[in-house]
A = this chain, B = another copy of it.
Amino acid sequence: MNTERREPAYLLTEKQVADKSEIARRFLDTRERLNAHVEKADNLLVKRFYHIDHNAYLEGPIPAKYKELMGLVASACLRCDDCINYHMIQSFRLGAVRAEQEEALNVALVVGGSIVTPHLRRAYELLVELYG
């Protein structure tokens, strides 16, 4: 079952998000700096994994926005701040409104429990920066 997939149409560039939010800017800068080491290493398996990872969030039977919000739920349940930041930024770039991000975080909070709370608090700080 392999319907055609395509790159989503972002409403904003990463640069535009970084200009809006200091948390986003720091995250994106660090990620870019560290990824340079990974890219330079040119490890074949890592490159293939990154490729699959990219493909999992393309437009498809489920719209890209909802898949990024799914990535947010997974990231919050598994309690990874970097991953939470990434998927919140991606969801924002794809037009997710704040209420949608909050609902995704709610699913993660209920599934994952109070151990998610410290990450939720930090996520709300990013929500404030992104949505004003």
Q: Are A115 and B112 in contact (CB under 8 A)?
A: yes
- Protomer copies: 6
Are B37 and A127 in touch, CB under 8 angstroms? yes
The answer to whether A124 touches B74 (Cβ under 8 A) is no
| Of the residues B3, B100, B114, contact of A49 by C-beta under 8 Å | B114
Does more than half of chain A's interface fall in helix, strand or loop, or is it mixed?
helix
* A109 part of interface (Cβ distance < 8 Å): yes
Are B48 and A117 in contact, with the CB atoms below 8 A?
no
Q: Confirm or deny: A13 has a beta carbon within 8 angstroms of a beta carbon on chain B.
A: no
- Min CB distance, A119 to chain B, in Å? 9
Residues from chain B with Cβ under 8 Å of A103 in the complex: 60-62, 67
Q: Is the CB of B1 within 8 A of A43?
A: yes
